[in-house]
Structure 1
């Protein structure tokens, strides 16, 4: 009865009707209320003001002794009177349970026959909430947004070639004279930091090398790889002198305690193992993660060990007990990098969903670094407050540490002979002066970056929008 053309037109018309209804419902739900302030629930607001006042002024015993503080808040206080009205923009009028004066015409008079006659309200007393001027609220809102510190933009200074596989890890010696790199080509290379010349090549691993750590107290270099091995290299003899046996699968991360002779390693078996550097004995096998441990960070203060795993969790460990004291579950994707700030009591973690800043010792969440929309493999911080993140798509983002402001974004370019997709940044670290940034990438190169010496706040101003502040979610 109906031709195929007629039926197809009927289907298209029905589909357009469904889409139109869906768009109308979405507009009714969201667009009409866009920009409108949410309705304030009055009982909850009164409870909030009551609690806030009790916390702020609960220690005050005599209002007359604190007249300067009340005057700064915009309240006119006479000797025995707290006046509110159209001529005095007071925020709160605190009724006293015992008064000898009277209240009329919007004014509250507190009589005081004795020095302690005027007291703050008790817990059961209520507060008279008066309208707050919009200008004062705007000033308070601006005060919360701290402007970021100006940082000079960074630019590429040098490209170093020599590896035949992806460069997975970089570590700088504490003397700031040389650095070590390793990757999928199973070799460890040591380079002169000033001239970028190759000084030494160490071979011994039979699989991709995932992590390096250099001791500050002895001439030792530690390496971990997917061959389940944790090796200690003596840089005076250029030989492997110790093996640490215990991991049941590939080892992906390594770190050294800043004060003790303890080595930490984490791998695909989901454990963080603590080793005695000299005796090769295992001190702790700290289990708790359900997936690969990608990163380990250590510090002298508690928590001394912090680990991030592919199971999307961060664990804070008690080194004495060898047990987890807290698990952070804010991330929704695997945690691939954790770095502690060199001077502050904070640390930062990176995942595919976000970069998050935490406060020690309890791991209290502070804020996000938003803007790096990819899998973040590595992080680095210097003393000047510059945070660097390297992504899987070759992107590098630079942030102001204090405010979380993204002040520069740049993309690496794969070197000739490499695929266009081989631009991932797997490793990043600053030298100990904080003036040079070293990155290890999938194009088999090491790149050295530095600040632009000709940049000034006038030529490169900070593009800061106070509305785009880090959010707590």
Structure 2
């Protein structure tokens, strides 16, 4: 490189005889300085910069030394192309191990302390340079590595476009469409293993369909409501009947045990909303206002407010103590079948047979949002204990939603039945009960169905009466109680013999990428 530049300078000198000798000498110096700066730019990482005086003393180098400079420049160009994105590189680029130098004494100059550091020694063997240059990965090898890691990348880097342009047109289309996509497998939670569940006990006592259930806060007893117009209180540990409450003149459709009062609230198809004193086992209040059958009841977790909804398409808000109506939440065009309440907004959520879910603003008494994703009536809803989410069930599928705006999360498809009941415990086990007597167990986070059961109708009942009408976990989440159309109450518990080896997660399970909102 130096020889060729000198030839250019000499040629220009011969062609410019009219130029002043001093100016010509300055031009030569500037050209030489430019050559020195060019060489230094390639030797930036080697800490071997040339000085202008050094160049002038060795300006007449041999052709062998010039070839050696070319090889160095070629090496630096390859390394710069290969590791341009690396922030920090070792100062030794030839691969030779630096010699270990003894600790040098610290020298003091002008009040400052600076340790003396020897520059690393670099072998400049020509054969070693050839081996190192040839060992650098070629562009095609680097492309194959990137293509191999393409499937595991979260986001495809834009540099893949460079390689795609060099490929055939057939391969370019398949790669280009993925440049802006996330790896979908990372967007889904992997299924968590849960033990299998098995039938524990069958309790009989009702003479009609068992349509409602509620569990005591202290986990000592639970109560059920039936189409035989009675409410029965059962011992949770033994399953023995403790007391029977009578007062309704039609089928009981909903029960709610207060967490802060010794009260039980019941609603039925006789248009009545009753309050029971469980200390004396008698009716103490009657809330009048519904003109048709009442199907759902819920209580506010922190306020003395009761919510009821039914066939009159109205969600009514009551003051528990004064029995005064606070709001009449109107907007549904069919019967209100399910209600859930929470302390944060929206404080009341209603599901209806008009295929919609409404999120209500309790402060103003108006509908804050309407969810129209379901294609069939919403018969059951359940909220998560810790997350700010809830699930709804219809005959199409189970859908998960996020509060407070009611954003759609995902579908849980596969339970091909009219779903009447949902239950969720603290271990993120979601259970759905169908009208055909099937019970499906789901992992809440991933939506994986890890078990399917089918109830058996009790002796004396028709096969068509093997339907799940209501269900609930106990307060510990270790026992599942189902209310069925064969007039029985069944207990389920976790199977002690279930292990991940015996009941593994299905190896062929894959998250559904066709997660439609409707």
* TM interval, short-chain normalised: 0.7 to 0.9
Identify if the C-alpha distance between structure 1 residues 466 and 421 changes in structure 2 by more than 3 Å, giving closer, same or farther: closer
Instruction: Tell me the equivalent position of 2:466.
Output: 423
Instruction: Tell me the equivalent position of 2:374.
Output: 331
Structure 2 residue corresponding to 1:256, chosen from 299, 304, 310: 299
TM-score calculated relative to the size of structure 1 = 0.73
Structure 1 residue corresponding to 2:272, chosen from 208, 226, 229: 229
State how far apart, in whole Å, the 2-side matches of 1:349 and 1:470 are.
20
Instruction: Tell me the equivalent position of 1:363.
Output: 406
TM-score calculated relative to the size of structure 2 = 0.67
Q: Matched residue of 1:150: which SS?
A: coil
Instruction: Tell me the equivalent position of 1:26.
Output: none
State how far apart, in whole Å, the 2-side matches of 1:423 and 1:131 are.
51
Instruction: Tell me the equivalent position of 1:297.
Output: 340
Identify if the C-alpha distance between structure 1 residues 224 and 75 changes in structure 2 by more than 3 Å, giving closer, same or farther: farther
Deviation at 1:145, TM superposition (A): 3.8
Instruction: Tell me the equivalent position of 1:92.
Output: 158
The answer on whether the counterparts of 2:420 and 2:433 sit within 8 Å (CA) in structure 1 is yes
Deviation at 1:195, TM superposition (A): 0.9
Deviation at 1:264, TM superposition (A): 0.3
State how far apart, in whole Å, the 2-side matches of 1:349 and 1:276 are.
27
The answer on whether the counterparts of 1:368 and 1:471 sit within 8 Å (CA) in structure 2 is no
Deviation at 1:130, TM superposition (A): 11
Structure 1 residue corresponding to 2:282, chosen from 239, 247, 252: 239
Instruction: Tell me the equivalent position of 2:251.
Output: 208
Deviation at 1:91, TM superposition (A): 2.7
State how far apart, in whole Å, the 2-side matches of 1:355 and 1:171 are.
22
Identify if the C-alpha distance between structure 1 residues 139 and 347 changes in structure 2 by more than 3 Å, giving closer, same or farther: closer
The answer on whether the counterparts of 1:405 and 1:469 sit within 8 Å (CA) in structure 2 is no
Structure 2 residue corresponding to 1:274, chosen from 317, 332, 341: 317
Answer yes or no: is 1:191 the counterpart of 2:234: yes
Report which of the two has the higher share of helix.
Answer: 2
What are the equivalent positions in structure 2 for 1:391-430 lying under 5 Å apart? 391-430=434-473
Identify if the C-alpha distance between structure 1 residues 136 and 281 changes in structure 2 by more than 3 Å, giving closer, same or farther: same
List gaps (5 residues or longer) in structure 1: 1-73, 96-102, 108-128
Identify if the C-alpha distance between structure 1 residues 142 and 134 changes in structure 2 by more than 3 Å, giving closer, same or farther: farther
Instruction: Tell me the equivalent position of 2:62.
Output: none
How big is the alpha-carbon RMSD for the aligned residues of Structure 1 and Structure 2? 2.8
Identify if the C-alpha distance between structure 1 residues 76 and 471 changes in structure 2 by more than 3 Å, giving closer, same or farther: farther
The answer on whether the counterparts of 1:368 and 1:470 sit within 8 Å (CA) in structure 2 is no
The answer on whether the counterparts of 1:250 and 1:268 sit within 8 Å (CA) in structure 2 is yes
The answer on whether the counterparts of 1:145 and 1:469 sit within 8 Å (CA) in structure 2 is no
The answer on whether the counterparts of 1:91 and 1:131 sit within 8 Å (CA) in structure 2 is no
Deviation at 1:144, TM superposition (A): 3.1
The answer on whether the counterparts of 2:188 and 2:511 sit within 8 Å (CA) in structure 1 is no
Deviation at 1:183, TM superposition (A): 1.1
Q: How many residues align?
A: 367
Cα distance per residue 1:50-108 (max 9 Å; x no partner): xxxxxxxxxxxxxxxxxxxxxxxx9951579xxx964364832599xxxxxxx9xx99x
State how far apart, in whole Å, the 1-side matches of 2:179 and 2:495 are.
41
Cα distance per residue 1:359-404 (max 9 Å; x no partner): 1111111111111001000000001010000000000000000000
List gaps (5 residues or longer) in structure 2: 1-81, 89-137, 147-155, 167-171
Deviation at 1:323, TM superposition (A): 0.8
Q: Matched residue of 1:143: which SS?
A: helix
Report which of the two has the higher share of strand.
Answer: 1
Instruction: Tell me the equivalent position of 2:358.
Output: 315
The answer on whether the counterparts of 2:158 and 2:179 sit within 8 Å (CA) in structure 1 is no
State how far apart, in whole Å, the 2-side matches of 1:144 and 1:76 are.
32
State how far apart, in whole Å, the 2-side matches of 1:230 and 1:206 are.
12
State how far apart, in whole Å, the 2-side matches of 1:229 and 1:188 are.
14
Deviation at 1:301, TM superposition (A): 1.1
The answer on whether the counterparts of 2:157 and 2:179 sit within 8 Å (CA) in structure 1 is no
Deviation at 1:141, TM superposition (A): 3.7
Structure 2 residue corresponding to 1:433, chosen from 447, 458, 476: 476
Instruction: Tell me the equivalent position of 2:9.
Output: none
Q: Matched residue of 2:183: which SS?
A: helix
Deviation at 1:454, TM superposition (A): 1.3
Deviation at 1:471, TM superposition (A): 3.7
- Point out the structure with max Rg over C-alpha: 2
Q: Matched residue of 1:321: which SS?
A: coil
The answer on whether the counterparts of 1:369 and 1:470 sit within 8 Å (CA) in structure 2 is no
The answer on whether the counterparts of 1:404 and 1:470 sit within 8 Å (CA) in structure 2 is no
Identify if the C-alpha distance between structure 1 residues 139 and 255 changes in structure 2 by more than 3 Å, giving closer, same or farther: closer
Deviation at 1:238, TM superposition (A): 1.0
What are the equivalent positions in structure 2 for 1:80-229 lying under 5 Å apart? 86=140, 87=142, 89=146, 91-92=157-158, 140-229=183-272
State how far apart, in whole Å, the 2-side matches of 1:467 and 1:196 are.
40
The answer on whether the counterparts of 1:275 and 1:283 sit within 8 Å (CA) in structure 2 is yes
Q: Matched residue of 1:92: which SS?
A: coil
